[in-house]
Structure 1
Amino acid sequence: MTRMEQQEMQQAVALVLAAYRGGEQFDTPAEAVGPQTVAQAYAVQDGVARALWPGQRTRCWKVGAPNKDSEAYSAPIPPRRVHASGARLSGDDFHMIGIEAELAFRVTRPLPPRACLYEEAEVRAALGELCVTIELVDTRLRQWQQAGALWRLADNQINGALIVGGGISDWQGLELAQRPLALTVNGEVLAEQRGGHPLGDPASLLGWSVNHLVARNKGLEPGDLITTGSWTGMRFIAPGAEVCARFPGIGEARVRID
């Protein structure tokens, strides 16, 4: 990265960081300023993470891809924005509230950095828990839809919070692509369907996710969590709502937005 690129990334980090700390949104600079590549967007993520949770490993990640032909992405979720099911959050802490029903995989065996990639069987053996999550989508970008994909990636892929619910350990034999699920708001069904993940089976992301995060995060450790993308698309809600995501046979997650 050139000195000018480094300066631009530092400016982008400062913008995102100030928005996190001040609870405000910002207008993205001119198109030529800011992340121009995925690597630069990740550099902004890393700079924000070093400032927001200094000296700590990132323990929770979101990964995903819009379709099978697109490059997958990753983004850290700040530790203070990861909550157990049943949490009550304040609507005042969000600029917008998008909700997504997701499945996440928890690391139960350490995966240290090594010279060769982890094979699929090793990856699956190390991810010993499958659990239901609700991602709350929010953004520090004032014009997030017009800001461009790289700015959204730099903004931790517009993550607002993650709610972690119940799960199971014996998921390996499940056929995940057509799992039934329901997403309700205040007891009313917002989505009830079978399947719906953009890649069909979210486990298809695991090989890439683990090898990417092992390299990026200096390994993965027991307790680390990888959530793998929305099954229901992003739905918007107003404060004063109780949200429940349920995957029968796996578990459920709940959150109240006051």
Structure 2
Amino acid sequence: MTPLTTRPVGLTIENAYRIQAAAIARRTAGGARVVGHKVGATSRAMQEQMGVDEPDSGVLMGDMVLHSGSELVRSDLMAPRVEAEIAFQLGNDLRGPGLTLEAVKAAVSQVCLAIEVIDTRFTSWRIALADSIADNASCARAVIGPMVPHDPAWDLAAEQLILSIDGRTVASGKGRAVLGDPFRPLVWLADRLSRVESSRTLRAGDLVLAGAVHASIPLNAGVTVRVLSPHLPPVHLRVT
């Protein structure tokens, strides 16, 4: 499919989010359930890989979220890639703008490692930021590791995530790779939602992916993907 931004009419960021919202509304009307959000392009590595200079966000639906050890059929997707991330579950609502990191940290109840599988309906990943946004920030699946209670004593900015495929390390990065602190994408997201509609909030129970700590890696069939870190339980995905 040809990227929307290459067509004569073009595509603004604002209209891309409107397209995303319309697609989500159609899915929820059909019975799908919103369970959270993803923030993408939060690390310099991902921004350079995509050729963008700002984050984006998408919506997580219940049928997109898998538990660690799940199996994914590669042929169900088009051009999937994988990323290692930190994910959070909120214990309290968060409403922007103007949130502090301290307020965000206080609202987080649980934390885990995650494997995000991104995908695109556009040819060969030759996309602009607006194309990704319209395509729900390219989110296909989120594989969630065991949740653990958020311990304020942990320095998640220093947490080193290691992504391996069939036991071979293929990428790594620290939590601070995403906007300087893995909690900062939640500040960004709450602010973006408030600009769209003043009553929009991040809600207690929401799952939020903070973004990849490294550039994304192509995903092939017949492999096992794992993410490890020093303080969080590992997460893995089998691909057939």
- Tell me the TM-score range normalised by the shorter chain: 0.7 to 0.9
SS in 1 for 2:131: helix
**How many equivalent residue pairs?**
229
The answer to whether the 8 A contact 2:91-2:107 is kept is: yes
Cα distance in structure 2, aligned partners of 1:118 and 1:201? 14
Q: Does 1:255 align with 2:231?
A: no
201 and 46 in structure 1: CA distance in 2 versus 1, 3 angstrom threshold: same
SS in 1 for 2:57: strand
Cα distance in structure 2, aligned partners of 1:119 and 1:182? 28
SS in 1 for 2:18: helix
Q: Deviations over 1:162-217 (max 9, x none)?
A: 10112432332222233222211122222356567243322222322234346658
Q: Does 1:78 align with 2:78?
A: no
SS in 1 for 2:157: coil
| Structure with more relative contact order (C-alpha pairs < 8 Å, separation 6 or more) | 2
Cα distance in structure 2, aligned partners of 1:250 and 1:135? 16
- Write out aligned runs for 1:149-160 (5 A): 149-160=129-140
One-letter amino acid of the counterpart of residue 210, structure 2: T
238 and 225 in structure 1: CA distance in 2 versus 1, 3 angstrom threshold: same
Gaps of at least 5 residues in structure 1 are 1-25
One-letter amino acid of the counterpart of residue 173, structure 1: A
One-letter amino acid of the counterpart of residue 31, structure 1: R
Which of these residues, 10, 17, 42, is aligned with residue 42 of structure 1? 17
- State the identity as a percent: 27
SS in 1 for 2:104: helix
One-letter amino acid of the counterpart of residue 142, structure 1: T
Specify the alignment match of 1:105 in structure 2: 88
Q: Does 1:132 align with 2:113?
A: yes
Gaps of at least 5 residues in structure 2 are none
The answer to whether the 8 A contact 1:213-1:219 is kept is: yes
Cα distance in structure 1, aligned partners of 2:179 and 2:21? 27
TM-score, with structure 2 as normaliser: 0.83
Cα distance in structure 2, aligned partners of 1:188 and 1:144? 25
One-letter amino acid of the counterpart of residue 100, structure 1: E
Cα distance in structure 1, aligned partners of 2:144 and 2:230? 16
TM-score, with structure 1 as normaliser: 0.78
The answer to whether the 8 A contact 1:144-1:152 is kept is: no
SS in 1 for 2:156: coil
SS in 1 for 2:86: strand
Q: Larger Rg: 1 or 2?
A: 1
SS in 2 for 1:76: strand
Q: Does 1:27 align with 2:7?
A: no
252 and 78 in structure 1: CA distance in 2 versus 1, 3 angstrom threshold: same
- Write out aligned runs for 1:211-222 (5 A): 211-213=191-193, 218-222=200-204
Q: Deviations over 1:27-51 (max 9, x none)?
A: 235533352x221111011011011
